[in-house]
Amino acid sequence: MKKIILIINLIFIGLALFGQSLPNPNPTRFQSEIDNFIYWDSKNSFPDNAILFAGSSSIRMWKTQSGFPEREVINRGFGGAHISDMLHYFDQVVAKYRPSLIVFYCGDNDVDFGKTAEQTFNDFKEFFGRIEKLDSKPDLIYLPAKPSPARWDKYPEMKRLNEMVNALADQKKNLTYVDVAQPMLLPSGKPKPTIFLSDSLHLNDNGYQIWEQKLIPFLGTK
């Protein structure tokens, strides 16, 4: 077993050294969660031109309905998602809702998995390209990969990803970068420990309040 683990680690290191993309994890690991979304949608209606919150667990755990009570919102986050997973399930968790605006948080897990900022950014560009082709012509708000104590060693790479998306947003009218990461830092530059759950990775209510305060001005009127 130790030999197998060593071989796998060497493969990952070799891929990183030669700048090659890591293989994506199998997206079907989320099929049961996607099926739950489909089942819920079959039993309930969803509002037209809503704000769609999409992405990984930081979206899934966000009480978006109570955080934005004056707006029609749909939450389609699923924990552990990579942007490659969002691409695989794009029709089921994004396109079908015909949103007027999409709030997107994903990429944190990609970098933690070992993907480079470049590989993750390329996936994001493909995701954004699909957004641009939607009939509802939604704008996209990108929330940057967050500085968490649990993944602080990976944050330099996450920050590079954030900078790439921010630069793209400067060129695209329908892409907005909302910096929710900077307010999460202490004057020392380290993450505020009081805004995270006990896992030092996911946000508590205080953390989400920071995100909501930064985000509300970009959501428009009701």
Find where tokens 């997973």 sit: 85
Kindly give the parts of the chain with pLDDT less than 70. Answer: 1-19, 221-222
Does the predicted model carry a pTM greater than 0.85? yes
Q: Is residue 25 assigned to a domain?
A: no
User: Can you give the pLDDT at residue 10?
Assistant: 38
Is 168 part of any domain?
yes
* Paired tokens of 61: 């755990």
Structure confidence at residue 19 (pLDDT): 55
How many domains, the chain?
A: 1
- Helix, strand, coil percentages (3-state) for the chain, rounded to 5, are 55, 10, 35
Residue 4 has a pLDDT of 45
Q: Cα–Cα distance between 123 and 119 in angstroms, integer? A: 6
22 located within any domain: no
In a domain, residue 89? The reply is yes
Whether residue 210 is contained in a domain is answered as yes
CATH number at residue 214: 3.40.50.1110
Task: State the residue range of the domain holding 121.
Answer: 47-218
Burial class (CB in 10 A: 0-12, 13-18, 19+), 28: exposed
